[in-house]
Amino acid sequence: MAMSILHRATGIANYAGMALLVIWLAAAAAGQDALMQVNYIYGSWFGQLVLFGFTWSLVHHMCGGIRHFVWDTAAMMEPGQREKMAWATIIASVIITLVIWTVFVWVA
Partner 1 sequence: MRETVITKDTIANPRTHYGDARASTRHFITQRVTGALNILFLALLLFVVVRLAGQDRADVVALLANWWIGVPLALLIANVVVHMRNGMRDTLEDYTHGSIYRLLMLLNTLFCLVIALVGAGAVLKIVFWG
Residues that bind partner 1 (CB under 8 A): 8, 11-12, 14-15, 18-19, 21-22, 25-26, 28-29, 31-32, 35-36, 39, 42-43, 58-59, 62, 65-66, 68-69, 72, 100, 104, 108
Q: What are the distances in angstroms from CA 49 to CA 27, 42, 80, 90?
A: 21, 9, 35, 19
Distance CA 68, CA 3 (A): 11
For partner 1, which is the closer residue by CB, 79 or 107?
A: 107
For partner 1, which is the closer residue by CB, 21 or 95?
A: 21
